[in-house]
Structure 1
Amino acid sequence: MKLHAFLRLIAGVMVLVSLFLTHYVHPNWVWFTVFIAANLIQSAFTKWCPMITILKKIGIEEE
């Protein structure tokens, strides 16, 4: 799997996990979903995503 596909997979899984936690554990977990969304929005404007930096460091190759 390439870098951007891996990134989309991680973002999707994190959103699902945060929604699961919001529903079954505590409503304040919704703020985790907000954090994920804010990170995706900032990366669209700045062209920098912390997760991409991490994935590159562990050796995931780009397209």
Structure 2
Amino acid sequence: MPVVKVKGMSCQHCVNAVTEAMQGLGAKEVKVDLTSGDVTYEEDAPISPEAIKAAIKKIGFEVA
């Protein structure tokens, strides 16, 4: 299961925003851990790191 580190998340709204952004890229079973900043997900087809960084940046967070 791929893992992405996201900086700047602090609440359930952040979790929802990151989850929706990842699902918009085709990710499934997205799980966000606020404490560690880890976002894990399943993918049917590989999602490029550049696409993930762009989607996360667009909603106001940073990929570590």
The TM-score with structure 2 as length reference comes to 0.33
Structure showing the higher helix proportion among its residues:
1
The TM-score with structure 1 as length reference comes to 0.34
Larger radius of gyration: 1
Structure showing the higher strand proportion among its residues:
2
